[in-house]
């Protein structure tokens, strides 16, 4: 990690703020990645399709035409294949479809072009979290990773560097930080129930895979309280991740701080992306 910088702005000042960041940080020298927010895309699970590899995207688009509330021709679609058996044929793969409105993609491209920034890829938080999970997977075992930010919670389960399950939670980091004792008990119960459903679903669908542990993203005192509650109420080990055990922050010492690790968690995961196709 070489540098991290935060520019605050509202939606009306995106262009000017991006232009300032580009000038301050000489972003014209780099290829950049942009993360979509919740509500700007859909991540849909699709049953395996028995089609040749070259016809997969076309088949997925056909499958999605009745699942969207707008015309499928107005959507940009990327397909993530999750092999139930990595040595088996493609049609045994479970699928995720990432769906974004073309208009939104065009708007973001224009935004970056206007600031003279080369936009290499548009990504989603689930894949950013997958990138971090891939660094903490025990060999031969799946791992669950749970993070919270101001938009909500995100639990992912990965195996072999692949995303197998993704679920959103309504609970935000703000809820955890501001809740009183009685409220926190209810929040912990709700998180535990959501997690149990996700873990049960994973075990039913991928019974041949062994889930090793649940890892919580960096948090402060609220993280320790949640870890203690989950350790008591779940059947798998629970631990809190410290990012400086897997990433080099020697040039950015502010990221040794737990609060900053929480704030930039998904951003750091996005920065780990390599060799992926553009949406």
Strands (E) in 41-161, as ranges, are 42-46, 75-83, 93-101, 118-123, 142-149, 152-159
**Radius of gyration of the chain measured on its C-alpha atoms:** 20
The stretches of the chain forming alpha helices (DSSP H) are: 14-25, 56-64, 102-114, 125-136, 173-178, 181-205, 221-233, 258-263, 265-271
Mean pLDDT of 160-184: 96
CATH of domain 11-123: 3.30.420.380
pLDDT attached to residue 223 = 95
Cα 176 from chain centroid?
20
DSSP state of 39: T
Mean pLDDT of 12-31: 92
Q: Report domain 125-271's class.
A: alpha beta
> How does pLDDT run across 43-100, given as a tens digit for each residue?
999 988 888 888 999 999 999 999 999 999 999 999 998 876 554 444 456 899 999 9
Q: Percent of the chain beyond pLDDT 70?
A: 95
Domain ranges of the chain: 11-123, 125-271
- The residue among 87, 68, 30 whose CA lies nearest residue 208 is 87
Output the average pLDDT for the chain. 92
pLDDT attached to residue 12 = 86
Q: Residue 216 above 60 pLDDT?
A: yes
- The residue among 34, 16, 35 whose CA lies nearest residue 24 is 16
Give the confidence band of 263 by pLDDT, cuts at 50, 70, 90. very high
d(CA 120, CA 271): 12
- Is there a common fold for 11-123 and 125-271? yes
Q: What pTM does this model have?
A: 0.92
pLDDT attached to residue 164 = 95
> How does pLDDT run across 34-57, given as a tens digit for each residue?
999 999 999 999 988 888 888 999
d(CA 191, CA 211): 18
- The residue among 154, 166, 35 whose CA lies nearest residue 96 is 166
Cα 127 from chain centroid?
4
d(CA 153, CA 217): 10
């Amino acid at each position: 990690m070489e540098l991290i910088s935060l520019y605050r702005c509202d939606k009306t000042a995106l262009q000017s703020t991006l232009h300032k960041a580009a000038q301050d940080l000489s972003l014209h020298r780099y290829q950049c990645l942009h993360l979509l927010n919740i509500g700007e895309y859909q991540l849909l699970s699709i049953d395996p399709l028995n089609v040749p590899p070259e016809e997969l995207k076309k088949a997925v688009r056909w499958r999605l035409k009745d699942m969207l509330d707008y015309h499928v021709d107005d959507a940009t679609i990327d397909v993530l294949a999750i092999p139930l058996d990595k040595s088996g044929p493609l049609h045994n793969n479970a699928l995720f479809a990432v769906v974004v409105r073309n208009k939104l993609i065009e708007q973001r491209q224009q935004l970056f072009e206007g600031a003279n920034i080369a936009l290499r890829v548009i990504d989603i938080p689930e894949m950013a979290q997958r990138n971090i999970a891939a660094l903490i997977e025990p060999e031969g075992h799946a791992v669950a990773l749970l993070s919270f930010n101001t938009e909500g919670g995100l639990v992912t389960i990965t195996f072999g560097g692949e995303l197998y399950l993704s679920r959103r939670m309504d609970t935000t980091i703000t809820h955890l930080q501001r809740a009183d004792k009685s409220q926190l008990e209810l929040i912990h119960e709700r998180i535990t129930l959501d997690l149990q459903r996700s873990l049960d679903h994973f075990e039913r669908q991928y019974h041949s895979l062994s889930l090793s542990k649940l890892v919580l993203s960096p948090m402060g005192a609220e993280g320790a309280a949640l870890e203690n509650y989950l350790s008591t109420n779940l059947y798998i080990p629970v631990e809190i991740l410290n990012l400086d055990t897997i990433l080099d922050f020697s040039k950015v010492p502010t990221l040794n701080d737990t609060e900053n690790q929480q704030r930039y968690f998904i951003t750091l995961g996005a920065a780990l992306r390599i060799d992926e196709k553009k949406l």
